[in-house]
Amino acid sequence: MLSLFICLLISFSWNLGRDNRGRQRIRLPSKRFWQKQRFSDSFWNKEQQRLDFNNNPLISSSLKALSHWLEDLGPSNLCQPDHRVPSQVADYNSLPQQFRDFLLHMRCRTYPLLVNQPRACAGKPFLLLAVKSLLPHFERRQAIRETWGRAGVVCNRTVATVFLLGTAESSDHFPDLRGVLGHEAKTHKDLLQWDYRDTFFNLTLKEVLFHKWFTKYCPQARYVLKGDDDVFVNTRRVIEYLKGLSEVETQDLFIGDVISDAGPHRDRKLKYFIPESVFVGQYPPYAGGGGFLYSGQLALRLYNVSELVALYPIDDVYTGMCLRKLGLVPEKHSGFRTFGIEEKYRWNPCVHRNLMLVHSRTPQEMMKIWPYVTKPQLDCQ
């Protein structure tokens, strides 16, 4: 009986789609199925919508050329100030100067490389440590070189280290450090410096420029650990973790202290303030910018996909946006503590031995903790 009912149902459905002569009927949609693109009022969202449209492989170049969506795109030279911005961001004049500078130059991704280390990855490192630093942070960089960032062979794996720098202006209240920096670069051969202003809002630019450099000079590095110059990294723990991964596990590897279900801060007093005139929506899951670990293969893909994502003034959120564009989600790992650890464990070497990265530590603290963490006789059972 059930079989008979199913047969009748199939026959009835088949006949609904046929005319009296048994030919297939053409079904016309009852509603419009093509909706006109509606741009957001927020500047970043609008820029991203334009990028998505411009890079859509389903839309022909001739249609793009005729589309009014692509009008008023700003200067043909993307590294000239974008004078559309003040009229398109309602509260532009009330934003901090560094934020305004970011918006004016948001489309520029090409800056000269002032100091390069083309042979930094000559040994095809297993792990590349890429440390975000600032010009005057000599003491931090030296402490890292003498502790967790020491280049060479660690746990039978090759480690390379580079420090990522921009430049400064007189208004940044830094002394002229070019001579000292030049000496540091020649002595240690681990500095990368680009000719752009090194501000908080330009950390995203530092991210993109590093991946561009990586693609050209270090594409064979197996893994990358990116971190700030005030974090403490247990390099040995990181390498032992990576040595235990399978080939499949490493392809899309991206781990850190992941933040989910977050959104932009609207309080103007906060460092991470983003107005609605610039961005609306929720953030994708992202790893705290203090430090995260990912595969070299993924680093290459992140650079390629970054061309499809408009620059955003918060670098760790931007990396999360790029991962989402790739269809990936960063994985939370308990070994990353970018928000610190309890004060009672601050000097406990056994706690640090079991973690990969802790934020934040002074140069003096790095020098004090490192020898204890690396002692082979340390009993942490």
Query: Domains along the chain?
Result: 113-169+177-373 (3.90.550.50)
Is 355 a residue whose pLDDT tops 60?
A: yes
Confidence band, pLDDT 50/70/90 cuts, at residue 298: very high
pLDDT tops 60 at residue 65: no
Give the count of alpha carbons within 13 A of 309, CB side only. 24
Q: What percent of the chain is modeled with pLDDT above 90? A: 75
Q: How far is CA 324 from CA 57, 284, 286, 327, 358, in A?
A: 19, 7, 9, 5, 26
Per residue in 185-212, pLDDT tens? 999 999 999 999 999 999 999 999 999 9
Helices (H), 218-325: 235-243, 247-251, 296-306, 315-325
Which tokens sit at 172?
A: 């940044």
Please provide residue 378's backbone torsions phi and psi, each rounded to the nearest 5 degrees: -65, 125
Nearest to 336 by CA among 292, 295, 299, 298: 292
pLDDT of residue 8 exceeding 90, the answer is: no
How confident is the model over 252-280, as a mean pLDDT? 97
Residue 77 predicted with pLDDT over 90: no
Higher pLDDT, 285 or 34: 285
Q: Report the C-alpha gap between 23 and 96 in whole angstroms.
A: 67
The pLDDT score that the predictor gives to residue 289 is: 87
Helix (H, G, I), strand (E, B) or coil at 120: coil
- pLDDT of amino acid 90: 94
pLDDT in the model for residue 72: 55
Residue 249 has pLDDT above 60, yes or no: yes
- pLDDT tier, 73 (very low <50, low <70, confident <90, very high otherwise): low
Instruction: Provide the whole-model pTM.
Output: 0.88
The pLDDT assigned to 12 comes to: 47
* pLDDT confidence band for 173 (50 / 70 / 90): confident
Q: Average per-residue pLDDT in the chain?
A: 89
**CA diameter of the chain:** 92
Confidence at residue 29, expressed as pLDDT on a 0 to 100 scale = 65
Quick one: which of 269, 267, 263 has its CA closest to 286? 263
- For residue 13, pLDDT over 80 is answered with no
Instruction: Report the pLDDT value the prediction gives residue 23, as an integer from 0 to 100.
Output: 58
Q: Tell the residue number behind the tokens 């991962």, with chain if given.
A: 323
Name, in order, each residue with C-beta under 8 angstroms of 147's C-beta and a sequence gap of 6 or more: 232, 366, 367, 369, 370
**Which 3 state secondary structure label does DSSP give 193?**
strand
Exposure b/e, 97-134, CB count within 10 A at least 16 = b: eebbbbbbbbbbbebebbbbbeebbeeebbbbbbbbbb
Are the CB atoms for 355 and 227 separated by under 8 Å? no
Q: How many whole angstroms separate alpha carbon 82 and alpha carbon 84? A: 6
